[in-house]
Structure 1
Amino acid sequence: MKSKYRSFIYIIGIMMLTVSVLNKIYWIYLCTKYTEFEETKNAYLDLFSKFMANAFFLTIMDIVVSGIAVIIFLESKTTGYLKNVSKWLMILSSILCGWSIFSLM
């Protein structure tokens, strides 16, 4: 990672991780609000436009976003840029990516 773009790429990784975290938080919030799975799923999909309101598509997008964040933080860790922080953010991104992969099963 070139030092010229390092902080910009790192910010992109943080934004991708933030999107994934907010997605999970919103899903957990809806699970506490509704008792039936179909009600929860419909309320979750209502947040998105018709084009994106597909559970499989949203899960794949979450996997891709989390995966890219893992790669960015792994690369930052190996180059020594915010090494400790990058390690923890990489672990968090990996857990969220695994959670999304598991939810496809």
Structure 2
Amino acid sequence: MKTKYRFPIYMVGVALLAVVIGNLIHWFRITAQYDTFEEMVPAYLSVFPSWLQNARIITMIDVFLLGISGFIFAQAIKVNYLKVLSIIFASLTSLLLLWQVFSLM
């Protein structure tokens, strides 16, 4: 990472991680409102555009976003840019990535 691009690239990684966390928060709120899985899925998908109302596609997009975010945080760790925060974000990204991949199975 070049010095003048570190902060904007890092913010892209944070934004991608925030999008996935926001999606998970949306799922948790839906699960708190409904009792059965059959009710939860349509309610969860209803906020997405019609062409994106597929849980597998949304999960694959989350995996892709977490992969990019994880790569950005790994590069930040490598160049010692906000190292402690980058380690925390990289760990969180790895945990969420494993969770998302597991949910695809």
Structure-1-length-normalised TM-score: 0.97
Paired residue secondary structure (1:4)? helix
The equivalent residue for 1:13 is 13
Runs of 4+ in 1 over 3 A off after TM superposition: none
The equivalent residue for 1:62 is 62
When you count helix as a share of all residues, which structure comes out higher? 2
CA–CA distance in structure 2, aligned partners of residues 38 and 74 of structure 1: 38
Q: How does 1:1-105 map to 2 (within 5 A)?
A: 1-105=1-105
Paired residue secondary structure (1:5)? helix
Structure 2 unaligned blocks of 5 or more = none
CA–CA distance in structure 2, aligned partners of residues 96 and 23 of structure 1: 12
Instruction: Read off the aligned partner of 1:30 and give its amino acid letter.
Output: I
Q: Give the fraction of aligned pairs with identical amino acids, expressed as a percent.
A: 39
Any idea what the Cα deviations from partners look like across 1:26-77, whole Å, max 9, x if unmatched?
1111111101101100001001001111111100000000111111001001
Instruction: Read off the aligned partner of 1:79 and give its amino acid letter.
Output: V
CA RMSD of aligned residues (A): 0.6
